Amino acid sequence: MGTNQLPPEEGGDNILPVDLKAALEERYLAYALSTIMHRALPDVRDGLKPVHRRIIHAMSEMGIRPNSAFKKCARIVGDVIGKFHPHGDQSVYDALVRLAQDFSQRYPVVDGQGNFGNIDGDSAAAYRYTEARMTDVAALLLEGIDQDAVDFRPTYNEEDDEPTVLPGAFPNLLANGASGIAVGMATSIPPHNAHELCDAALYLIKNPGASVEELFADPAHPERGGIEGPDFPTGGVIVESRASMLETYRTGRGGFRVRAKWEIEDLGRGGYQIIVTQIPFQVQKSRLIEKIAELLIARRLPLLEDVRDESAEDIRLVLVPKSRTVDATLLMESLFKLTELESRIPLNMNVLSQGKVPKVMALNEVLTEWLDHRKDVLVRRSKFRLAAIDRRLEILGGLLIAYLNLDEVIRIIREEDEPKPVLIAKWDLTDNQAEAILNMRLRNLRKLEEFEIRKEHDALSAEKAEIESLLASTDKQWQTVAWEIGEVKKKYAKATDLGRRRTVFSDAPDADVEAIQQAMIEKEPITVVISEKGWIRALKGHISDTSSLTFKEGDALKVAFPAQTTDKILLVTTGGKVYTLGGDKLPGGRGHGEPLRIMVDMENDQDVLTAFVHDSSRKLIFVSTAGNGFIVPEGEVVANTRKGKQVMNVGMPDEAKLVVPVSGDHMAVVGENRKLLVFPLAQIPEMTRGKGVRLQRYKDGGISDVKFFAIADGLTWADSAGRTFTKTKEELVEWQGDRASAGRLVPKGFPRSGKFSG
């Protein structure tokens, strides 16, 4: 503690007032930066977060190479937290385990021995039981680390040094992917195929500044290669369009829809079962089966009979259809909708550029930065090698002088008290050369040695010239980087077992959305009953006689109609709003049902006007009390939320009064003033929302009823006694007019109620 921070002699608390806002901002920013830089985001150059880099470096320091023996994970974790990473042992071990799981990593970095968990979500054995060593991928990431390829920094206690980034001869960021949540930002990168990444990198070396489209595999140019899309360790089928994937890679943000891979297994005699052999990335198999079983019990999958897990080393989920007539595609589409058999893998290429700046990068930017890093590593390794060659050539030069003057050298060493300065003065040697001569063994004085020294000198001189020409030429540097990438490509080519592409691409079948919706609900007949006070229920079966229905005190039947559990029920309120309810979601017929206001957000001053089964092929007319109206396609009024959809704009005291399906070519309107007007349907506009247009003009009162009809058939109505009246086209002439006219008094025999139905 500095002397200026000690309390003053004369007492006092020496308390310094600090602005709380500024102090919190400063501390929170420091925490946020620490999380972003040193924990959650990977470096674009080696694709590693600090914990992974430290695990690999610790294994390297311990001498655990791909060809060495396995070592206990407890030792590795101990070294990591003792020397480099002062965090919890379990968190470090979890990171180590993930690096070894072949269902988490496309190209595992750690070779594990023992129980390292499985795709069912079971955790690994404790670190005292498991053992690990590096894979060839880790060796590639470290290649050249002892040749000054990267910068080192002191560890947290400044006892050791650790690399700030690894040389990264393997395109690890994209090949293995990454995910992490920092403060205010996150990253999520799916794994890719190393062969394709190498192809894209090689193309980028030849064509600097190439766009994302050029790096993407083009079916028209298969010889060029390039990135086709993610390649997950667990396989699966990507059902994303090429255009969508291009946009995702161009912006660095987006996602990929991945589906399980399935096939039909024929059981003979027309029977079949579906076998799922690959599931989407990062989906736990056991949880997936639990979810399917839950949906089966909840009767949400009426096409499915049973699900079984017959997996051993490979995945084999058996889905048994309800009957042999079930369409397999439709069954799978309903499962994709409801379960993790289809999952969306996000891409958010938020990485540390230059190891310092977090930013979202496009595919070509990520590859360019990796290539630049590879070039830097090459230059640094070359300079390191050059310095080593220079030191050796200097020593070889001194040794040659000694051989040429061997007797004199021996004499000086035997007779002089301080031979070193004498040697230096006699032949103008450097300190290193003199030291090398003095350290020479007697056995090296044989004749052959001089020849070998000259041979080594020539070889090193030739290598030095090569390195110097490499350092002098950017083109040669890029050629060397390309050669190195070519070697990696050979090692992880698609022809190899590890390099073979596992994820395939396909278009999702164009299954009818309605059919899929229906496939998720068990189809049963129901009767929907709504009371005057807004209570709703669904009775089983179709009930034609509603007189036996009971209601609460002071309540009565508003509307009742037959439907199916698979239907959508449309509910229209006096405020011109439409709500949508699923037939399968309605409360059962026991008791009086439930108040509608619990199920939808209805305003208190509005009531139910009507309800009916949705038919997307129809058109409806909305009419308000004041006599305004417009036509709307029924598909446009469906609402997907509790809030409903405002279709008709009405303000008190005006309300929505009638909703009628449109038919025929003319419309008859009758007002409360018992005036009738007939005009062509073409005069009414079609809209999706609005106030509508005036249908009939009134001095006072409003509309009573409307009816659609074909003018050729004439206008029909029924009176209260059930008698039917028809006015032909010729007889209707005096009531025909234009929309918004007043009309004329109704003809004789028109019902007193002012309704066309008596």
For residue 175, count CB atoms less than 10 angstroms from its CB and return exposed for 0-12, middle for 13-18, buried for 19 or more. Answer: buried
Rounded to 5 degrees, what are φ and ψ at 7? -60, 145
11: left (phi over 0), alpha (psi -120 to 50) or beta: left
Instruction: Look at strands 504-505 and 237-238 and give their pairing.
Output: parallel
Which of these, 256, 357, 192, 142, lies nearest to 201 by C-alpha position?
192
List 568's β-bridge partners, or say none: 582
What are the tokens at 328?
């397999």
What are the tokens at 621?
């007319």
Q: What angle do CA 205, 107, 192 make, to 5 degrees?
A: 50
Three-state helix/strand/coil letters over 694-754: ECCCCCCCCEEEEEEECCCCCEEEECCCCCEEEECCCCCHHHECCCCCCCEECCCCCCCCC
Instruction: State the DSSP H helix or E strand holding residue 370, giving kind and residue range, or none if neither.
Output: helix 363-404
What are the tokens at 662?
């449109």
Instruction: State the DSSP H helix or E strand holding residue 290, giving kind and residue range, or none if neither.
Output: helix 285-297
DSSP-derived letter for residue 160 is S
Q: Does residue 480 contact residue 469 with C-beta atoms inside 8 Å?
A: no
For residue 163, count CB atoms less than 10 angstroms from its CB and return exposed for 0-12, middle for 13-18, buried for 19 or more. Answer: buried
What are the tokens at 465?
């010239």
**What number of other Cβ atoms are within 10 A of residue 264's Cβ?**
13
Contacts of 428 (CB under 8 A, 6+ apart): none
Our measurement of the distance from residue 604's CA atom to the centroid of its chain's CA atoms, rounded to an integer in Å, reads 41
Residue with tokens 């034609």: 544
Q: Is 249 a catalytic residue?
A: no
What are the tokens at 330?
């439709």
Widest pairwise Cα distance in the chain: 150
d(CA 314, CA 433): 64
Bond from prior residue into 108 cis (ω within 30 degrees of 0):
no
Which of these, 595, 623, 627, lies nearest to 609 by C-alpha position?
623
d(CA 629, CA 706): 10
DSSP string, 631-666: EEEGGGG---STT-EE-B---TT--EEEEEE--SSE
Catalytic, out of 129, 203, 249, 272: 129
Contacts of 506 (CB under 8 A, 6+ apart): 237, 238, 239, 259
Count of residues for the chain?
758
Sign of CA dihedral 538, 539, 542, 543: negative
Q: Does residue 104 contact residue 96 with C-beta atoms inside 8 Å?
A: no
d(CA 205, CA 188): 26
DSSP string, 89-126: HHHHHHHHHHHH-TTT-SS-SEEEES----TT-PPPPP
d(CA 45, CA 441): 46
Q: In what order do the strands lie in the sheet with 557-564?
A: 557-564, 525-531, 535-540, 594-595
What amino acid positions are annotated as catalytic residues?
129
